[in-house]
Amino acid sequence: MNRFGKWVALCVSIGGLAAGGDALAFGNAAGGGSEGAKAPATSGPSKVEKAKGADACTVSETYEKAAKLDKKTVSVRGKVVKVSKGIMGKNWVHLQDGSGNAEKGTNNLVVTSQDVPNVGDVVTAKGTLHKDKDFGAGYLYKVIVEEATVKQ
């Protein structure tokens, strides 16, 4: 299969997964990613204590300091509000800590990991922050933390 064929196959796969409900974990349009696969709204604010350490950030700080933190290790503590497993060989975890603005999309952080936390868990994710990450096919993230370890 040529490159174009592989791209079409990928797009068809993504479309099929998106049709299946929560198969994709791409963030909301304001925060980057697809509007159709954004994390669900939580019932009331979930205030979670900030992670500890020199690389610790709140969810909103990852957006506010994205230029400075690009390609640097960060630790973010938050409540897992959505998990989509095995997309592009990764698990896509949405974290919220009560910071940020839902209307601006700065209250939800997408983290990719091989770990699989449960929705509702309060976890600390440590990985590399990337700003303006473009996966193609319309999936662009203002901020994403990749290759993270996710621990309770």
Per DSSP, the residues of 42-107 read PSS----PPPPSTTEE-HHHHHHTHHHHTTSEEEEEEEEEEEEEEETTEEEEEEE-S-S-TTTT-S
Burial 82-95 (b: 16+ CB within 10 A, else e): bbbeebeebbbbbb
pLDDT tens, residue by residue, 18-71: 444 444 434 443 444 544 455 555 555 579 999 999 999 999 999 999 999 999
Q: Any idea which residue has 């209250």 for tokens?
A: 107
Q: What is the pTM of this model?
A: 0.75
- As a whole number, mean pLDDT of residues 61-86 equals 97
To which H or E segment does residue 136 belong? none
Topology given in CATH for the domain delimited by 3-151: OB fold (Dihydrolipoamide Acetyltransferase, E2P) (2.40.50)
What is the average pLDDT score of the chain?
Answer: 82
Amino acid of residue 78: G
